[in-house]
Amino acid sequence: MQPIALAVIGGTGVYNLATLDDVQTHEVETRFGTPSGPIRVGSLLGHRVAFLARHGEGHSLPPHKINYRANLAALQQIGASRVLALNTVGGIGDDFGPRVLACPDQIIDYTWGRISTLCEEAGSDVLHVDFGHPYTPMLRSKILAAAKVTGVTVRDGGCYAATQGPRLETIAEIARLRRDGCDLVGMTGMPEAALARELGLDYACLAIVANWAAGCGDGEEITMAEVLSNVQAASNGLPELIGELARG
Ligand code: HPA
Residue 81's identity, in one-letter code, is: S
Q: Is the residue at 183 inside a domain?
A: yes
Q: Is the residue at 66 inside a domain?
A: yes
Extract the residue ranges of the chain whose pLDDT is less than 50.
none
Question: For residue 218, what pLDDT is reported?
Answer: 83
Whether the CB of 11 sits within 6 Å of ligand 1? no
Q: Is the residue at 163 inside a domain?
A: yes
Q: Is the residue at 1 inside a domain?
A: no
Whether the CB of 182 sits within 6 Å of ligand 1? no
Q: Which atom of ligand 1 is nearest to the CA of 169?
A: 1
Q: Which residues contact 105 (CB under 8 A, 6 or more apart)?
A: 133, 135, 140, 156, 157, 158, 159
Domain count, the chain: 1
Determine the structural domain holding residue 181 and report its residue range: 6-246
**Is 213 assigned to a binding site?**
yes
Q: Model-level pTM greater than 0.95? A: yes
Q: Is the residue at 241 inside a domain?
A: yes
Q: Is the residue at 160 inside a domain?
A: yes
**Is 190 assigned to a binding site?**
no
**CATH number, position 131:** 3.40.50.1580
Task: State the sign of the Cα–Cα–Cα–Cα dihedral 31, 35, 40, 41.
Answer: negative
